[in-house]
Amino acid sequence: MHNPYLLNGPGTSKPFGAEEADTDTLTAYDSPYSLIVWNDEVNTFEWVIETLMEVCGQSLEQAEQCAMIIHTKGKYAVKRGSYDELKPFCDAITDRGIGATIEIMSGT
């Protein structure tokens, strides 16, 4: 009988998450970095929203939601990916005068 609470895949004998000893931990994460956009008292909501749409390809709704979170929480991870994928986005955002950094995700 199949137990839906077990995380073993069909036909596998290893528990979920069991890895070989020589497996690199970071290979478990396709996107170990986050692009963080920081709140400030200089840039307007409109400018942040426009930047997220033009630079990150977000929809208007996504960009508005991100801007609100950035404003209320002080920062928000607007995109995830490898460092090399995120670097051009980070540079384009900071070139527009908005604070942005690339950080490794916690737990990686």
- Please classify residue 10 by burial: count the beta carbons closer than 10 Å to its beta carbon, then call 0-12 exposed, 13-18 middle and 19+ buried: exposed
pLDDT score recorded for residue 23: 42
pLDDT score recorded for residue 107: 63
Mean per-residue pLDDT of the chain: 81
Average pLDDT in the 23-52 region? Answer: 83
**Euclidean distance between CA atoms 77 and 71, whole angstroms:** 13
Average pLDDT in the 40-47 region? Answer: 96
User: What structural domains and CATH numbers belong to the chain?
Assistant: 28-98 (3.30.1390.10)
pLDDT score recorded for residue 108: 52
Structural element, H or E, at residue 102: strand 100-104
| Beta strands in 8-64, from DSSP E residues, in sequence order | 33-38
> Tens digits of per-residue pLDDT, 10-19?
444 444 444 4
pLDDT score recorded for residue 105: 87
Direct distance between the N- and C-terminal alpha carbons of the chain, in angstroms, rounded to an integer: 35
What confidence tier does 3 reach under pLDDT thresholds 50, 70, 90?
very low
